[in-house]
Amino acid sequence: MDLGLAGRAYLVTGASRGLGRATAEALVRDGADVLLAARSAEDVEAASRELGEIGPGTAVGSVADLADDDAAERLLEEAEETFGRLDGVVISVGGPPGGSVTEATDEQWRDAFDSVFLGAVRLARTALTTARSPIAVTLVLSTSVRSPLAGLGISNGLRPGLAMAAKSLADEHGPRGHRVNAVLPGRFETDRLRELEEAADDPAAVRERALAAIPLRRYGQPEEFGAVAAFVTSPMASYVTGSVITVDGGSTRAL
């Protein structure tokens, strides 16, 4: 399917690996020009180089940490200067540290709030208020928005709030033609998932239980998520806003 992305420009954060990179790749493959942002200079340079080779769109890398107060404004200005326009932003941030709500320290909560919550809201808000024409903002969150995940207490606390912020932004900026949505990934074969599994006492048992709870009986591949996120952000989804879309192989039981 042609998503109508040729000649359009997007900013994707958390784009050096995992689901952020998969989304950036889907956009580039469909003809979009993408500014990839991530905290590691080495990783973002490698990702931009590799994605730039797949075309037909282009990929440019930028080092940024959304927890920094000036990151949002700087990235948006860079996208405009690089491509001469901005049609959308995909906000994917790294997951906070694992552990229970009881075990998480105040410092861990504050750090996660700055990077996972406030950084995402700041970028979405700044993009929407400074855009010269209608744009699409997509937040990559987690199925913890709908149901808590064992061992991810901080994520369980922050992600639902981000989903509600996204719906509120959709209400506030819809009259200007802007769209805001959230996409909730379940278990995908990413470095983040492998790190969480390897931290368990019995990684094999953890994976076996997780697969048993997924109706499709497998983890998703990053490109399967990237295709959905790219569609939601594309002009083909022009009447989709304020929506929370789950991509999890059927594992979430809540509506």
Q: Is residue 4 part of a domain?
A: no
For residue 25, what are the domain limits?
9-247
Closest CA to 123 of 167, 158, 88, 85: 88
pLDDT one digit per residue (tens) for the chain, 255 residues: 789 999 999 999 999 999 999 999 999 999 999 999 999 999 999 999 999 999 899 999 999 999 999 999 999 999 999 999 999 999 998 788 889 999 999 999 999 999 999 999 999 999 999 999 999 999 999 999 999 998 899 999 999 999 999 999 999 999 999 999 999 999 999 888 888 788 888 888 989 999 999 999 999 999 999 999 999 999 999 999 999 999 999 999 888
What is this structure's pTM? 0.94
Q: Is residue 253 part of a domain?
A: no
Q: Is residue 236 part of a domain?
A: yes
Q: Is residue 254 part of a domain?
A: no
Domain count of the fold of the chain: 1
Cβ atoms within 10 Å of 146's Cβ, excluding its own: 18
122: CATH: 3.40.50.720
Q: Is residue 160 part of a domain?
A: yes
Q: Is residue 133 part of a domain?
A: yes
Residue 151, exposed/middle/buried by CB under 10 A (0-12, 13-18, 19+)?
middle
Q: Is residue 134 part of a domain?
A: yes
- Report yes or no: 20 and 140 within 8 Å, Cβ to Cβ: yes
Q: Is residue 151 part of a domain?
A: yes
